[in-house]
Structure 1
Amino acid sequence: MTTMTLGTTAPSAHRPRLISRALLLRFVSIVACSVSFFLPLAVVPVLAEGSSPVAGGLANGALLGATVAGELASPWLMRRLGARAVLAAGLVLLGAPTFLLLTSTSVQSFVGIGVLRGLGFALAIVAGGAVTAALVPAERRGEGLAIAGLVSAVPSLAALPLGMAITSATGPATVFIIAGAAPLLAVASVVGLPGRVQRAGRPVADSRASGIVAGLRSPGLLRPAIVFAASAAVAGAVVTCLPGALAGGAVSLAPAVLLLPPATAAGGRWVAGRYGDRVGHRRLFVPGILLSAAGTAAMAATADATLVLIGAALFGVGFGALQNATISAMYERADDAQYGTVSALWNAGYDGGMAVGALGISTLGALIGDAPAFLALALALPLVLILVRRAPAA
């Protein structure tokens, strides 16, 4: 079984090479996961909402909730089966159940299939994330993770609005076929990746500090994940609730609202990666949260096209900066035996935050209205800065 050994790079006067053949192979599964996850993400709630006002939130909430559960179990599976096997299993589980949506589009089907796809997505991104971290030189980690983030962001950027456009043009079946086939085809790329991520001379399985429980007890790992989860809650609310909440002159902006946050997040993540490597990633937490909150407050003006677009762009920049800053800060605090744990905690914060945002804002919006619900989220978001103040310095 192929193994990736870490922490053995000799000092050099030159910056270490960033792009390798193995990293390029890893990009294949990154793209496949992004296409499969995001293409139907906005389509499913629209189809499900014909049954009840909260059906869309339930459908995406089930997907994201199962993702969080799978992410927390992934490090345990990686220690026993290896990163490559877990990544391949995740790709299969993400893709294969999607074809079942061709035969049934009831809320029950969306929820059940979403659970299976969520588990598959979890396995793929946690195992794949640990492999990505192993393939990137530590001296250029922020930059390398930013590049991997851009590789993920480009298909994500296209997939969200494209899923809605394809559904309008040909129906949802085409969306489900593409989303099912992409990860299954990407399984072949896994063969060239490391089977296990380990430090020189010691397998990850031998480390008692690499599990989820140990990660939850480590403030240096847990607090950045919580900071990012707060911003991810807005992303879940935007994808699930904002297109249906737009009113007046902003109604026609649904595709743009789905397009802008991932577009500006890609730029925010790239700038944060290069800047964070030089000055410290934790310094970007505060501006990232404040940008996210400002953007959310602007999007609460659901009938004002200009404010909604400005808000979507601002939120995307803050969200992208937090994506890179938080995970880079977590890897700085971890040794290689904890790479799977870092990937699991960060992704659990991502998807857990999205699930809370999707279900919470759809429920709150039904009670007090969509615009007040988004404004309440914007006002609550800066409270997470308390954790930033208490976090240990990088």
Structure 2
Amino acid sequence: MQGIGFSASSTSGSAIAADLVPASRLTEGIGYYTLANTIGMALGPGLGLNMFQRGSWWLFGAGTLIGIISLVTGLSLNYERKQSSVKKSSSVSQTAPHAKANSKLDMLFEKSVMPTCLVILFTIMPYGAIMAYIASYGINQGIENIGLYFSMYALSLFVVRLGVGRLSDRYGITAIIIPGIVLMFCGLIVLGWASNLTIFLISAILFGLGFGVVFPLLQATGYVFCSPDRRGVASATLFATADLAYGLGALILGIGIKFLGYAPAFGGLAIFTVVALILYISVLYPRLKKRRNVSKQ
């Protein structure tokens, strides 16, 4: 039940954010939206653990209260009424061929975001692997307070996402996303050599800065390619790819740890970022360039 609810809320919330943000500031708006998710994921585990230590009823009581607040806040949005008025006033959106799903598959997946999903797959796999095994890696290396890795990672995400949208709107997505992938690569290479807490934290900073740049920009790119009335399906397609990447990353790293050991397996995750960079340059960048040229005409 929790998984179904979280999937529905995260997918629809992302689509709503993309609809409400002006097209000229799409990447900036998506950056702020993902920043809100980052703050929640950074504060949630610590607060939850603290409440659980006080008694399980604190944890579930607080979770219920926050859920009610979220529900009331969501019901107060006038998003649905705005969207209805926009659709009624625009005959184009009613008659455009691409606005209709041609098959049952089109109702579940948005084909226009598939190239973006391919890059997202190899971008998120290292993240899923790290979140699953970084604690055991730290214990294996004799590191105390390995939890600081998550704190430094979250802080890096918070800092970079404050400005990533504005930078990409000013200089272009490609000029920002390629350095972001390079930072992820460097963070993973450093992680493969981590032997003390300082190196772990340096890796967290590098990877956090890179991932904080790459994921929201790829997400915004996906919305650029789809029509406005298909953003809900596009959002579902993007998040389904992300969920698949989380699991695959953890699975592949687990196998790597078994046969290679912790350090080589973690360092080997950098290969995924190389693949992601190649796919972005060869598959996604030409589409972005073509779309930009068409919009100038």
Identity %: 23
Shift of 1:388: 1.1
Residue 138 (structure 1) aligned with residue 23 (structure 2): yes
Q: Which residue of 2 aligns with 1:251?
A: 143
CA drift of 1:316 comes to 0.5
Select between 185-194 and 237-246 the one with higher mean Cα deviation: 185-194
Shift of 1:157: 1.7
Q: 2:70 is matched with which residue?
A: 186
Q: Does 1:147 align with 2:32?
A: yes
Q: Which runs of 5+ in 2 are unaligned?
A: 290-297
Give the Cα separation in 2 of the matches to 1:176 and 1:302.
Answer: 37
Using a 3 Å threshold, how does the CA distance of structure 1 residues 311 and 214 change in structure 2: closer, same or farther?
same
CA offset at residue 232 of structure 1? Answer: 1.8
Residues 109, 234 of structure 2: 8 Å contact kept? no
Deviation at 1:323, TM superposition (A): 1.8
- State yes or no: 1:228 paired with 2:120: yes
| Aligned equivalent of 2:110 | 215
- 2:6, 2:237 → 1: CA distance? 14
Matches of 2:106 and 2:146 in 1, distance apart?
Answer: 41
Greater helix content: 2
Q: Secondary structure at the match of 1:211?
A: helix
Gaps of 5+ in 1: 1-115
Per the TM alignment, residue 161 of structure 1 is displaced from its structure 2 partner at its CA by 4.1
Q: What amino acid does structure 2 have at the position aligned with 1:332?
A: V
Measure the CA separation in 1 of the matches of 2:8 and 2:69. 17
Aligned pairs (5 A) from 1:317-356: 317-356=209-248
What does residue 259 of structure 2 align with?
Answer: 367
Find the counterpart in structure 1 of residue 9 from structure 2: 124
Q: Is the 8 A contact 2:32 2:162 kept in 1?
A: yes
How many residue pairs were aligned? Answer: 275
For residue 145 of structure 1, what is the amino acid of its counterpart? I
- How far does residue 180 in structure 1 lie from its aligned partner after superposition? 5.0
The alpha-carbon distance between structure 1 residues 393 and 133, as it changes in their structure 2 partners (threshold 3 A), is closer
1:350 corresponds to which letter in structure 2? A
Q: Does 1:300 align with 2:189?
A: no
Shift of 1:144: 1.6
Q: Deviations over 1:226-273 (max 9, x none)?
A: 323323222222222101210477622322111122221222223221
RMSD between aligned residues: 2.8
Amino acid at match of 2:6: F
Deviation of residue 148 (structure 1)?
1.6
Matched ranges for 1:1-394 at <5 A: 116-164=1-49, 169-170=53-54, 174-193=58-77, 194-195=79-80, 197=83, 199=87, 200-201=90-91, 202=93, 207-208=100-101, 211=106, 215-216=110-111, 218=112, 221-247=113-139, 251-390=143-282, 391=284, 392-394=287-289
The CA deviation string for residues 98-129 of structure 1, in whole angstroms up to 9 with x for no partner, is: xxxxxxxxxxxxxxxxxx32222111111111
**What's the offset of the Cα at 1:172?**
6.4
Task: Say which SS state the counterpart of residue 254 (structure 1) adopts.
Answer: coil
Distance 2:255 2:47 in 1: 27
Deviations 1:295-338 (CA, angstroms, capped at 9, x unpaired): 12212234321211000111011101012211121222222112
- Distance verdict in 2 for CA 1:295–1:138, change over 3 Å: same
With CA pairs under 8 Å and 6+ residues apart, which has the higher RCO, 1 or 2? 2
Q: Tell me, what secondary structure is at the counterpart of 1:253? A: coil
Amino acid of the structure 2 residue aligned with 1:253: N
TM-score by length of 1: 0.62
Distance (Å, rounded) in 1 between the aligned partners of 2:220 and 2:281: 18
